[in-house]
Structure 1
C-alpha cells in the first residue's frame, strides 16, 4: 500500500493494513499467550471475587444462630483398665454462671486486653485472622490465630473445637450475626462464663475458686489478668503444674495484658508498676480421682488430645483438650489392673511406709514416680504418679525436670556400638575396650574442656567398658561420648526414645544432665530390650466416641539401631545387676528366682534424684525418686525455700545418700519379680558383654592413667554366665574413700550400696537448681 492510498484510507476511516513480516508489524501471539493477558487475568479474578461474595451471601442467609447448648453437650468420660473394668468416670461440669455485674469492671477489661483490644470497636470478626486460619486448615499447618472474643465465644458455646473449614465458616457467619443481635457486654459475659480455664473449671466463677479460692466478684486486677492470660493455654500455663518455660510464658502474657490496659487507658501507669504477679493456690484433684487414678486419667486425656492434633481434628493441644473434656468418650487404657496394684504395693512397702516427715523434714520432700512397659507390645501396663493425686497434682511418672544421671550411660554405649566408634587411638569400642578411669581426668579430643570426677572422687586406673558400666565410672563415659561424637550420641538417644531435640551436643551431657521422665527412660530401655526396634510407650489402647473415630499408631516401630548393638548393651547391663551398683537390691532379692535382669542405676547432682531403670525379657520398668519441696518453708538460716524447689534426698528414711541402687532398685525388684510372670532368659544376638563368654582380649585406648601411684587394674568382664544362685557375699562399688582398685572388690553391707552420684554441677543443664 503506497503512501497516497494509505492517506486516502485514513480519510475514509479505514484501519491501516499491515502486512505480516513488514516493518512495524506486531508479532502474532501463539499458544497460551493468545488467551492470557491482563484483561483476562483481571476478569477471572473479579469473577472469583463475585463468586465468593455470592457464596458468602448465600451462606449468611442459610446459617442461623443455633441454640446454645454447651452444658447439654457435655457428657461423662468413662475410663477402663485393659480388662474392661471401669477405672473412673468423669464429666460433672464445674461451672457457675455469673452476671457481668458480679465481675469488677477492670477484671472484665483484662480479658479484652489479653485477647481482643478492638473488641468494643470491631464487628465481631477478624477477617485477616479467619482467612489465615482457613488457609492453615486447608494446608494442614495447624493452629489458627487472630480470633476475636466474639468468635471464641461462638466456638465455645454454639459450635465446637473441630478443625474444619465448615466450622470456621459457620463461626464467621454466626459471629457477624451475633455481634448485630447482642450487646458487647452480653458477648463478653458469655465468653468469660463459657471458656475453659483448666483445673476442671468452666467460667470465671469456677476459675476464681480453683485458682484463688474466692468469688469472681472479689478478684483483683492482677488475678483477673492471670485468668485472662491462662485462656491461651490453660494446660501449659497452670502455675501449679507448669514447667519453667510455662511459667515464663504466662508471666510474659500477664505483663502483656496489663501493659495493653495501660496503652488503652484502662489502667493507671503508676498502679500498673506497683502490681506483682499473683501466684495461684495449689491445684486440688477432682472427686473420684484420688490416689493413682487421677494421674492415669490426666495422662490418658493428654495422650488422646495429642492424637487428635496429629489426626488434624483439632488445631492445637488446647482445642484438643476441650474436645476430650466435652465428654462422651470411652477410653480404654493399657494399664493392667493386677500390675498396677503390685507397683503401688511395692512403692508403699519399700519406700513410703518408711518415710516420716514429722521425724525428718527431708522425708516430706521425697517424691516417687514409675512406669512399667511391655517391650513386645509397647503397652504401659502400670504407672505410679505420686503419693496421691490430691496431695501432689504433678505426675511424677511423666515429669521431665529431673536429671536421669547415669541411666543415660547405656545410651552412650549404644551409640558407640551403632556408630562402630573408636577410641582416640583408633581402637574399636566394645565391652572389653580399656579406658582410663581416673577421676577428674580431662577428656581428650574435645574443644570444650570437661573433667568430671567420679563418685566420691574414686580413681580406677585402666578398666574395661564392662567394669566402667558396672561401677558407673563418669570419667570413662565422658571420654566415650567424645570418642563417639556427642552429636551422634544425642541422635542415637533420640532414636531410642529420649527427647534430645533441644539439647546441646556437649560432653557434659554424658552425665545425664538433661531432664527426663520415667516414661521416657522406660521407652528408651524398652527399645534396647526389643532388640533395637523402636518402642513408643502407649498408655491408651483405644478411644471411642459417637461423633468420631480415633486411630492410634502401633507402639512398635522400625529398627532404630541394630539388634547386635542393642543386645550387646543388654548383655553389658546384666553385669550392673550381677556385679555392679544394683547387686544388693536386685541380684540378691529373695524372690528373683534366677531371673536374668539388665539395668542401670543413676544418682544425680547433689542427690536431687535417684533412679533405677531395668528390664527382663518381658517387662521394662523405670523408677525415679525426686527431691521436691512440697510447700514454701523457712529454713533455720532464715532463707525461704519455695514450693517445687529441687532439693537433696540425702537423709531420707533416716539413712545417708539416696542412691539408685537403694530405694529405686528395691522398688523395682519388689514389683518386677512379682509382676513378671514366668522366668525367662534374654535371647541375645551378641557374643559380648557380661551375659556372654568374652571372645577377645581387652584393647587399650589412649589416655593412660595419670595417677602412677595407683596400680591399674585390668579386670576382665565376668567370664561365666550369671549363676543361678545369688552370691553369698555382697560386693560393692567404690569405697567411700579412694583406695587402690584390685580385681577383688571389697565387701559391703546393704546399707553401703554403691552409688554413681554426679558431683560436678553441669553448667549446661537448664534444670540444675541449687
Structure 2
C-alpha cells in the first residue's frame, strides 16, 4: 500500500476509534446508571449519617455548662455578692417574661417552634466555612447552639459540627421546645463575665431576669451575636450602630411573628445598659456574712460541698443600712483611734459585733473584723474568749427564776443586800472561792441593783452559790449560751466559759423578748432550682424563763446604762438596758445591751499578731489605758444604735415586774478586808469590816461622777490563781475554773472602775 493509501486508511480509522470511545462512554455512563449511582451515593450517605446518628450518643452536660455561682442577697433583695468560678444563676422559664423569650427566638431562629432542631443549609455552609478556613460558621438553630453550649465545646472542627448536628436531632426529639429554649438562654455568654440571662440582667440592667421588659430583652438577645463588640459601655460608634440595627431587627421580627404589637413596637426606645460594675468579692464584711450563712445552712443539714457546687440563691436577714451603720460605727469609734502599724497593742485589737431583732431573731448586722480577706476568723462568731461580767445578769435571772434564797433563807430580789467586800470568801460552797473586786475595792452592804451597776464580783460570787452553779448553768443554757462544757463552780459568775457576740446577742435578745427564746438566724431563704427550698427554723422559741424574771433583769440593766458601768452608752434618744464585761488580764472587753427594737453585743479581743496567735491584753489600746466594756465597746454600741434607730426612738420597754419587798441581808463571814460604808462612789476606805444594815432598803441610783482611766488589774499574789481564766489560745480559758481551790484568789474582772473611762473626743 502506498503512502497515500495508508494516509487515507488512517484518516478513516481515527473517526472510527473516536466513535468507539464515545460509544463506550455512553454505554458506561447512561442516565440510568448515573441516576442509580446518585441514589447509591445518597443511600451510602444516609446510611453513614444513620450510622453516625446511632453511634453518637447524647453526652452528659459539659462541666462549664452546669457550673453556677451562688448569689447572696441582703434582706431587701439587693445583691451582696456572688461566689463561684462562673457567674451564672440558672432560672426557670417562668422567671423569664414571655416577650423576652420571643425576643431570643426572633433574634436567632424564627422557625424554632416548628423546625426539627437542625438547619441543614446553614450547617452545610458552616462546614464549608470551617473546611476552607473562613472561621466561625453561622446559621445554627437555637437547638444547635444549645447543644454546642451545653453538651459540646466551642471548638471549630468538622467532627464537632457533625456531632452538633446529630445531637441536635436527638435533643429535638427528646426535649420540648421550652426546655431547649430555657437551656439555651441559661447557657449563653452575654459578656461582662455573665453566663445566662439572670446574670446578664443584673450585669446590664441591675434587675432580675423576671423584671426585664421587651426592649431590654431584645438588647440581650441582640448581644449574643457579639457580646464584647456589642457591649454598649465599650462599643465603638460603629458597634453601637450595629447593635442598634440588630435590636431593631429583633423587634421587627417579633412584629412579623405577631409576638409584639406594631403600635407598641413604634413606641420602644433603645434601652441603654448601665455602666459595668465590678462584681463584689469577699473583701470587707462580705466574707464574714457569707461564712455565717453557709455555717447556718450546714447546721440545717445542707452539705457545704453541695453549696460549693453553686446554683443557690441565699437571701440573708441582714439589713443593708444597719450593716453599713455598724461598720461606720466601728470605724469612727475604734479604728480611727488605732495606729495598727506603729502601736503594738493597737495591732492586736480585734472587734466583733452582732445585732439581732429581738422580736424575730433576725441577725440584722454583723461585724467580723477588719476584713475577711485580711482576718478570716470572724470575731462575731468566734467563741474562744470569755464573756466576763456580761454573764452576771444570767446569774440574777437564775436567782429570780428559781426563787432562790440567801444563806439566811431570804428570797433574792433586786433589793436584797449583799456584802460587797473584796476577797470575801463565799459561804455554802464546797469549792472555796473569794474573788477580788476591781482594784481590790470593797463596798460593804450593797443591794443587788447597785452591785449590778458597779459589777461587784464578790456579790455575784455569793449569789451563784445561793442559787447553785448547776441551776445557773441550766438557766444560761436555756437562754442561749452554747458552751455546754463549762464546770458548775462558783467562778462561772465571772463569765469563765467561752462565748461569741452571736451567742450573747441571742441571750440578751431573749431577755429583751420577755423570756421567749431567741435563736439568732442570718438566713432568710435558700433556694436552688434542682432542690427543695431550705426554710430556716423559727428563730423564736418557747418561754424559757418567766416574763417577770426577764423584765426584772431588764429593769436592773436599764440602771446599769443610766447610772452604772455602761453609762457611756446612755442618751435620752432611746431606752436601753445592758451590761459591761472585761475579762481577766484585759484580754477581752464587752458591752451587751438592748433597746426594745435591737439587741446588740460588741466585743474587743486582744489577739497576738505572732504566728499561732494567742490572747493578749488590750491595756493601752489607743493609748487610753484599760480597754474595758464601758469604753470602746459601749461607744461603738451607742453610735451604731443611734444610727440604726434613725437618730433614736421613744419606744419604752413594756415591763411586767412584780413588787418586791426589801429583805434582810445574807450573813457575811468575818473577814479582815477593808470595807467602805455604802456610797454611790466606789472609793475604798481604811475602815474595818462592818456588819450589814439590819433593815436594808433599795439604794438610790448612783450619780454619774467623773472617773480617770483605771489601771490594769492587780496580778495575783504568789500562790494564788486567777478567777477570770483569760489565758491561752482558744478554748475560753481552758481547764477548771481558775482561782478555785485557793482561799483568796483574785478575779481581775470588770468591776466598778474597770468599766469607767472618760469618753474619747
- Whether these two folds match at TM > 0.5 is yes
For residue 708 of structure 1, report the CA deviation from its aligned partner: 7.8
Distance 2:444 2:554 in 1: 25
Contact 2:483/2:499, CA 8 A, preserved across alignment: no
SS class of match (1:305): helix
Contact 1:357/1:364, CA 8 A, preserved across alignment: yes
* Structure-1 residue corresponding to 2:292: 299
* Structure-1 residue corresponding to 2:565: 581
Mapping of residues 343-492 of structure 1, within 5 Å: 343-492=326-475
Contact 1:386/1:395, CA 8 A, preserved across alignment: yes
SS class of match (1:508): helix
* Structure-1 residue corresponding to 2:722: 761
For residue 501 of structure 1, report the CA deviation from its aligned partner: 1.9
* Structure-1 residue corresponding to 2:682: 734
- The 1:421–1:347 alpha-carbon spacing in structure 2 relative to 1, beyond 3 Å, is same
- The 1:369–1:738 alpha-carbon spacing in structure 2 relative to 1, beyond 3 Å, is farther
CA RMSD after TM alignment: 3.0
Distance 1:66 1:324 in 2: 25
Matched, 1:627 2:606: yes
For residue 667 of structure 1, report the CA deviation from its aligned partner: 0.2
For residue 606 of structure 1, report the CA deviation from its aligned partner: 0.2
* Structure-1 residue corresponding to 2:534: 550
* Structure-2 residue corresponding to 1:523: 506
Matched, 1:85 2:56: no
SS class of match (2:301): helix
Mapping of residues 2-17 of structure 1, within 5 Å: none
For residue 304 of structure 1, report the CA deviation from its aligned partner: 1.1
- The 1:463–1:74 alpha-carbon spacing in structure 2 relative to 1, beyond 3 Å, is same
1:280-300 CA distance string (max 9 Å, x none): xxxxxx981110111001111
Matched, 1:664 2:633: yes
Distance 1:575 1:754 in 2: 25
SS class of match (2:425): coil
Distance 2:714 2:509 in 1: 24
* Structure-2 residue corresponding to 1:155: none
Distance 1:500 1:393 in 2: 22
* Structure-2 residue corresponding to 1:652: 621
For residue 358 of structure 1, report the CA deviation from its aligned partner: 3.2
- The 1:569–1:696 alpha-carbon spacing in structure 2 relative to 1, beyond 3 Å, is same
Distance 1:362 1:86 in 2: 37
- The 1:527–1:89 alpha-carbon spacing in structure 2 relative to 1, beyond 3 Å, is same
Matched, 1:501 2:484: yes
Distance 1:471 1:562 in 2: 26
Distance 2:350 2:674 in 1: 43
* Residue number among 655, 664, 675 corresponding to 1:710 in the alignment: 675
Distance 1:646 1:558 in 2: 37
Contact 2:586/2:712, CA 8 A, preserved across alignment: no
Contact 1:460/1:740, CA 8 A, preserved across alignment: no
For residue 660 of structure 1, report the CA deviation from its aligned partner: 0.3
Distance 2:684 2:313 in 1: 54
Mapping of residues 189-268 of structure 1, within 5 Å: none
Matched, 1:513 2:492: no
Distance 1:383 1:738 in 2: 47
Distance 1:389 1:413 in 2: 37
> When the two structures are aligned, how many residues end up with a matched partner?
468
Distance 1:72 1:626 in 2: 45
For residue 79 of structure 1, report the CA deviation from its aligned partner: 0.5
SS class of match (2:340): coil
Matched, 1:330 2:313: yes
For residue 744 of structure 1, report the CA deviation from its aligned partner: 9.3
For residue 669 of structure 1, report the CA deviation from its aligned partner: 0.3
1:600-648 CA distance string (max 9 Å, x none): 0000010000000000011000000000013x2xxxxxxxxx4421100
* Structure-1 residue corresponding to 2:665: 700
Contact 1:439/1:458, CA 8 A, preserved across alignment: yes
For residue 754 of structure 1, report the CA deviation from its aligned partner: 10
Distance 2:530 2:614 in 1: 44
SS class of match (2:733): coil
For residue 500 of structure 1, report the CA deviation from its aligned partner: 3.6
- The 1:755–1:594 alpha-carbon spacing in structure 2 relative to 1, beyond 3 Å, is farther
| TM-score of the superposed pair, with normalisation by structure 2 | 0.58
| TM-score of the superposed pair, with normalisation by structure 1 | 0.57
Distance 1:508 1:709 in 2: 22
- The 1:78–1:758 alpha-carbon spacing in structure 2 relative to 1, beyond 3 Å, is farther
Contact 1:609/1:627, CA 8 A, preserved across alignment: yes
Contact 1:368/1:626, CA 8 A, preserved across alignment: yes
Contact 2:383/2:732, CA 8 A, preserved across alignment: no
* Structure-2 residue corresponding to 1:680: 651
Contact 2:563/2:703, CA 8 A, preserved across alignment: no
* Residue number among 589, 596, 615 corresponding to 2:594 in the alignment: 615
In structure 2, stretches of 5+ residues that fail to align are 1-56, 88-278, 690-698, 739-761
Contact 1:603/1:757, CA 8 A, preserved across alignment: no
For residue 498 of structure 1, report the CA deviation from its aligned partner: 0.4
Distance 2:499 2:674 in 1: 39
For residue 743 of structure 1, report the CA deviation from its aligned partner: 7.8
Bigger shift: 288-297 or 746-755?
A: 746-755
Contact 1:586/1:669, CA 8 A, preserved across alignment: yes
Contact 2:427/2:669, CA 8 A, preserved across alignment: no
For residue 504 of structure 1, report the CA deviation from its aligned partner: 1.2
Distance 1:603 1:736 in 2: 21
1:652-690 CA distance string (max 9 Å, x none): 1011110100000000000101212432110000046xx
Distance 1:709 1:456 in 2: 12
Mapping of residues 119-134 of structure 1, within 5 Å: none
Distance 1:360 1:738 in 2: 39
Mapping of residues 24-173 of structure 1, within 5 Å: 72-92=65-85
Distance 2:415 2:608 in 1: 43
For residue 755 of structure 1, report the CA deviation from its aligned partner: 9.7
SS class of match (2:732): coil
For residue 442 of structure 1, report the CA deviation from its aligned partner: 1.1
Matched, 1:749 2:706: yes
For residue 509 of structure 1, report the CA deviation from its aligned partner: 1.3
Contact 1:290/1:388, CA 8 A, preserved across alignment: yes
